[in-house]
Structure 1
């Protein structure tokens, strides 16, 4: 599943780094913290590897 925005891709990269032990999990905040706890390493790799070209900075998933 590819990332929908640059922010999602960046959060997945931070969560992946924490899951691999490259950074402490206590340093995570917000979406990256919940991603690290709920997603597998493979899922995080897929999100983090998404090319950022052409992606919006943020996507509002809330429906009006």
Structure 2
């Protein structure tokens, strides 16, 4: 699934780096930490590769 915001795309990139061992898992915080645990490498690749062009910085939740 593609990222819906710049923040989500960046969090996916950080989680992907940790999953690949390029970054320490202990350095992750918040959304990237949860993404690393719950998503596969393929899912993270797809989300992290989303273009940031035209995306909002953050998307407000519906809660």
Q: TM-score, normalised by structure 1?
A: 0.96
Superposed, 1:36-55 pairs within 5 Å as 36-55=36-55
Two-structure CA RMSD over aligned residues (Å): 0.6
Return 5+ residue gaps in structure 2 as ranges: none
Q: CA deviation at 1:39?
A: 0.1
Show structure 1 runs of 4+ deviating over 6 A.
Answer: none
Residue in 1 that maps onto 2:10: 10
Return 5+ residue gaps in structure 1 as ranges: none
Residue in 1 that maps onto 2:61: 61
